[in-house]
Amino acid sequence: MEDNGHQTQPLLTSRHQTPPDSAVFKADSDDIAPIAAVGDFTREFFIESKKLWYLAGPAIFTSICQYSLGAITQVFSGHVSTIALAAVSVENSVIAGFCLGITYGMGSALETLCGQAYGAGQVHMLGVYMQRSWVIMNSTAILLLLLYVLAEPLLKAIGQTATISEAAGKFALLMIPQLFAYTFNYPMQKFLQAQSKIMAMAWIAAAALLLHVLFSWLLMLKLGWGLVGAAVVLNASWWFIDVGQFAYILSGTCGEAWSGFSLEAFRNLWGFVRLSLASAVMLCLEVWYFMALILFAGYLKNAEVSVDALSICMNILGWTIMVSFGMNAAVSVRVSNELGASHPRTAKFSLLVAVVTSILIGILLSLVLIIFREQYPFLFSNDSAVRKMVVDLTPMLALCIVINNVQPVLSGVAVGAGWQTAVAYVNIACYYIFGIPLGLVLGYVLDFGVMGIWSGMLSGTILQTAVLFFMIYKTDWNKEASLAEDRIKKWGGHSKTHA
């Protein structure tokens, strides 16, 4: 097999043999070499699975808990009124979704830098990277405030109904504190993930979720605060997570990674901005793609029912994608750590284990959804028309779960290896040049409605996944390890010297 014109090592490897030298890389004895038998593969698969699940288990739980904050707010909104559900769905998908894509994307730059620095033993740089990210992301959030302030006219301008736009616009104004909670949260997440300190994040997220359910029921339904209650509880829950994570960092458990606030955070800001923007573009193009699906549904006949039904499906899809996001975080940490430590074969094997695991999980989740397709819509809406459309869309949702359970894992590899710019171009071509136009043709021109829009856009996701598979297949992982060392030196660390 050849990668980018270089001869590469086999994918299946065993860490008990000494790998041969490479022109660009000479491995430590901790890297793994070609596997000779099925038994070796099975043993190595379980060893790597244990490492991945040590990270992925708490990361999946944390992702599900944090995603569930907004999802549960939508569930309670559906029991307030149809327009309340539409308002929360549109604000959550369009306004907050747009900003989430930018903040999460910019924060993901730390997955590359922190992960590779930690793998190279440059632990002291993690706190500096996190503070630089805070400075840049909060400056960006000030600009993003305009989207919240102008949400109502913007939604009307892009064709949403006046009723939905007005309700979503008022809700957006109440959700401004959540924007700044995002800017602090994601850098702290990447900082802790790089050090494999996932359990603390999981416990904080679990506490936030329990309190969120209790107070959402109390304020939105029991006391009748409606959307105001939804905003109060959702904002408070996100800031609870931020305060909890920062308190954990200050407690001293991160050791050398956090040595206090430093003026070094203000050095090399422009270079850090460029890296953050590349990460943001890559992630935004993915987040906005699904945001656009709900937006297009608002232009169909019977828009409120279409938006509500599709938002319920996206809600379910979001919960299942959180599983793959947890695996995304785990494989990103594993790949970046191993590349930072100059172990390219181990990084490659981590990818294989993560992809196989994600496919199996996606199939299992899809089967559960198909089996209970007549029951689960009752959890989200009292409207029979909305529930019927959700049942009709369930087969498409099940297929989407399988595909989207793999794609974030591949994106995690891209982040761990620092390929954000290249993947951004892939996303533009597959999602916006191919997927969206095809969805619009199927949905509007051929009159297949929501199913047509979704089918076309899912085709874009399938194409993007295939391209990422090809990129990874053709990658020279020895060269990536060498690039990781150069990246660490560029951003202020000094990689250890390998024998």
Query: pLDDT digit string (tens) for 16-55?
Result: 333 333 333 333 445 555 555 666 778 888 888 888 888 8
What is the reported pLDDT for 246?
94
Closest CA to 353 of 52, 116, 58, 119: 52
Ranked by mean pLDDT, the top range of 26-30, 302-306, 428-432, 477-481 is 428-432
Percent of the chain topping pLDDT 90: 13
Q: Is 282 exposed, middle or buried (0-12, 13-18, 19+ CB in 10 A)?
A: buried
What is the reported pLDDT for 489?
58
DSSP secondary structure string for all residues of 204-256: HHHHHHHHHHHHHIIIIIIS--HHHHHHHHHHHHHHHHHHHHHHHHHTTTTGG
Asked whether the predicted pLDDT for residue 451 surpasses 90, the reply is no
What is the reported pLDDT for 16?
38
What is the reported pLDDT for 79?
80
Torsions phi, psi for 437 (to 5 deg): -55, -40
- Do 62 and 201 touch, CB atoms closer than 8 A? yes
Torsion on CA atoms 276, 277, 283, 287, rounded to nearest 10: 130
Residues in contact with 112: Cβ distance below 8 Å, sequence separation at least 6, in sequence order: 275, 279, 336, 415, 416, 417, 418, 420, 487
Distances (CA, A) of 49 to 89, 283, 349, 383: 36, 26, 10, 43
Residue 223 or residue 276, greater confidence? 223
- Compute the distance between CA of residue 464 and CA of residue 426 in angstroms, rounded to an integer: 7
Task: Note the pLDDT tens digit of each residue in 159-169.
Answer: 778 888 888 88
Q: Is 2 exposed, middle or buried (0-12, 13-18, 19+ CB in 10 A)?
A: exposed
Q: Is the pTM of this model over 0.75?
A: no
What is the reported pLDDT for 21?
35
Q: What are the residue boundaries of the structural domains of the chain, listed by start?
A: 47-490
Whole-number mean pLDDT of the chain?
A: 78
- Average pLDDT of span 242-270: 84
What is the reported pLDDT for 8?
36
Q: Which amino acid is present at 337?
A: N
- Average pLDDT of span 341-352: 76
Helices (H), 298-343: 303-340
What is the reported pLDDT for 11?
36
Helices (H), 372-435: 384-417, 420-427
- Do 235 and 171 touch, CB atoms closer than 8 A? no
Cα-based angle 485, 487, 493 (whole degrees, multiple of 5) = 80
H or E element in which residue 51 lies: helix 38-78
What is the reported pLDDT for 383?
81
Residue 495 or residue 455, greater confidence? 455
Asked whether the predicted pLDDT for residue 295 surpasses 60, the reply is yes
Asked whether the predicted pLDDT for residue 493 surpasses 60, the reply is no
- Compute the distance between CA of residue 239 and CA of residue 188 in angstroms, rounded to an integer: 13
Task: Note the pLDDT tens digit of each residue in 467-481.
Answer: 888 887 777 767 666
